[in-house]
Amino acid sequence: MANWQITLIIVAVYCAIVLGVGVFTRTKGETSLSDYFVGNRSLGAFVAFFTYVATFHSSFAFIGAAGQMYSGGIKFFATFTSCVVSPLMIYIIGRPTWYLGQKYNYMTQGELVGDYYESKALRYLVAVVSLIFLVPYLQSQIAAGGIIFETISEGRISYLTGCIILYAVIIGYILLGGFKAVAWTDTVQGILMIVMIWIAGGVVLVRTGGSMSWTNLMQTMATEFPEKVMVPLEYWPTYMTSFISLFGISIYPPSFQRFFAVKNPKTLKWLSVTTPIYLIFFYIPIMMISFSGVVYMPGLEKADQVVPMMLTQYASPVLVGLVMAGALAATMSSTDSQLHSASSIFTVDIYKGMKPEASDKTALFNGKVFIVVISAAALALSVHTNKLITTIVTIALGGCLQILPSLIGALYWKGATKAGAMGGLITGVIVVIITQYVPAFKTPLGLSSGFWGLVCNLLVFFAVSAFTAKPSAENIEKFHGYLAEVNRQCDEKAASN
Amino acid sequence: MKNRKTRRLIFTLLWVIAFALVNYPIGAMFSTKLEPFILGMPFSVFYFWSAYSLLILAGVLLAWKVMRD
């Protein structure tokens, strides 16, 4: 049997397993919106941990990160800052969100923000911004899936067919099991990813050059490619600010949805400081593979292909199959969350917003149809891009980050107003698009478009809020009064212990 | 309550110091230094892995000692 056939069989078995998880987790009988979109708010710590890290770690980790380390060396470590700092937002934003979701039955950002500012228009705006920036991320994931299938089949499965296979499997288990299927498949995928990437890193290190050890590899890097083991001085402004743009990962709808889904706020607290351990631990073998690639496979046309190419060259077909299943897991674990989240935004914010009298059954049917529609849109876009996955991801996260100020108003700042939140959000999104796509304004000072969008967004948000009407006193009390009471009770409990 | 405020201040400060290690100017001082090699890695690579590990540890302490719930 040819190597590519062995690899494909392993990948097929993996796809069958995740579909099986979808069947296993499906709800018998009628499903409510809360069940389908936030798993009845019953997510325990173990599954919450893996679904969060697997959603956070997409194909970006397996494919994009290795590509960046291959081409830019340790400049990529700037991403580590976001891996460590951004999850703190799980606590800062996630904790009050959890309490409000539990109390008032929210399932999406749009619902929460729209309710606080007493504005359906803002609810729709948040939903539309989320959907607009979900698509490029989806596109990047599906592109990665296409690359993986094309590489492991040695070109026998085309990029487009690979994308379609990936979508078919993901849509299959989401339609079957909703949030529970997404969370449990994420858990399987999260475990598979970390195990496989470590095995792959070890094998590549041992097989490249036979006696080539870690020390030798690093010494070769330092002598022949010193620019890849240093961060040049001129890169520091980017290094120091890139994490701000990546705060968007916690505001990003699929991550945000998990704030509503966990069983208790303690889970969120520990998620915010323990997810970086998984995330950083993941990048050690990625560094082994990409640095080995620099030494043994220099000049790759597409840096993103370094992991599949190195494995195909140096590992056994069985291992290639297993690791590629891990890479597919990384892609799928993010794609499923994005599709599921897009469906919840469409159903809860837009469909139910327009037709509040619609039954859960009808709303869910429309939400499921939307999954297929948005998949097709992302698939169509993925055919027309050859950009680095990392670049696409950064734009998507920077765009979603623009929802942050309106959330700050709802959760922390009583002075925020509807006009301020809307003005800030619209300004932020426009600035992200201009600083990303208009050549004359592209990423000024080397800082990301998400960063510039957020700066302009905050300026407008605070300035407009200073001169416009606040939400009603009852609504401010409904949110801030309730959260203050929760904090007071927590402090009293802590003081008595 | 005063005790809690002091504790919050100390652990937040600890986290900020760890954060400073991976930023300019401290991080920049070590990011171009290749010698000595430690654990087989150039100093710059070793430095960043260690500093980020410390930052994670500081975050865990922050959660344990300061954060509510």
Q: Tell me the per-residue pLDDT of A378-396, one tens digit each, with 9 for 90 and over.
A: 888 777 655 555 566 667 7
Identity of residue A195: V
Cβ proximity of A250 and B36 under 8 Å: no
Which stretches of chain B sit within 8 Å of chain A by CB?
1, 4, 19, 22-24, 27-28, 31-32, 34, 37, 40-42, 44-45, 48-49, 52-53, 55-56, 59-60, 62-63, 67-69
Interface probe for B, chosen from A219, A225, A229 (most Cβ of B below 10 Å), is A229
Helices (H), A315-446: 317-344, 352-354, 360-382, 389-400, 404-411, 418-437
Which stretches of chain A sit within 8 Å of chain B by CB?
74, 77, 80-81, 84-85, 88, 91, 95, 213-215, 218-219, 221-222, 226, 229-233, 236, 239-240, 264-266, 268-270, 272-274, 276-277, 280, 284, 487, 490-491, 494-495
* Chains A & B: contacts with CB separation below 8 Å: 99
The rounded Cα A243 to chain-centroid distance in angstroms is 14
What is the CA angle B10-A99-A50, rounded to 5? Answer: 75
Residue in chain B lying closest to A264 (CA): B69
pLDDT tens-place string over residues A152-203? 788 899 988 988 998 899 999 998 888 999 999 989 888 988 998 899 898 8
Binned at pLDDT 50, 70 and 90, residue A436 comes out as confident
Report how far residue A175's alpha carbon sits from residue A188's, in angstroms, rounded to the nearest whole number.
18
pLDDT surpasses 70 at A440: yes
Report how far residue A84's alpha carbon sits from residue A28's, in angstroms, rounded to the nearest whole number.
39
What is the CA angle A6-A7-A11, rounded to 5? Answer: 120
CA distance B29 to chain A (A): 9
Give the start-to-end residue ranges of the domains of chain A: 3-489
Task: Name the residue range of residue B41's domain.
Answer: 2-65
A361 token code pair: 């059954």
Q: What whole-number percentage of chain A has pLDDT above 90?
A: 46
pLDDT tens-place string over residues A291-324? 999 999 998 888 888 888 888 888 888 888 888 7
pTM, whole model, 2 decimals? 0.88
Among A303-317, A372-386, A428-442, B37-51, the range with the most confident prediction by mean pLDDT is: B37-51
A234 token code pair: 């001129």
Answer yes or no: do A274 and B69 touch at CB < 8 A: no
End-to-end CA, chain B:
16
Give the closest of A77, A215, A494 to B48, CB-based. A77
pLDDT surpasses 60 at B9: yes
**CA–CA distance from A161 to each of A18, A329, A382 (Å)?**
19, 18, 12
pLDDT surpasses 80 at A222: yes
Q: What is the ipTM of this complex?
A: 0.90
- A262 φ/ψ angles, rounded to the nearest 5 degrees: -75, 160
Burial A21-42 (b: 16+ CB within 10 A, else e): bbeebebeeebebbbbbbbebe
Report how far residue A108's alpha carbon sits from residue A129's, in angstroms, rounded to the nearest whole number.
13
| Run of H or E including B6 | helix B2-21
| Residues of chain A with C-beta less than 8 angstroms from the C-beta of B34 | 222, 226, 229-230
Assign A471 to helix, strand or coil: coil
Fold held by A3-489 = Sodium/glucose cotransporter (1.20.1730)
Which residues, listed in sequence order, are joined to residue A262 by a DSSP beta bridge? A43
Cβ proximity of A330 and A308 under 8 Å: no
Q: How many domains does the structure of chain B reveal?
A: 1
Answer yes or no: do B22 and A231 touch at CB < 8 A: no
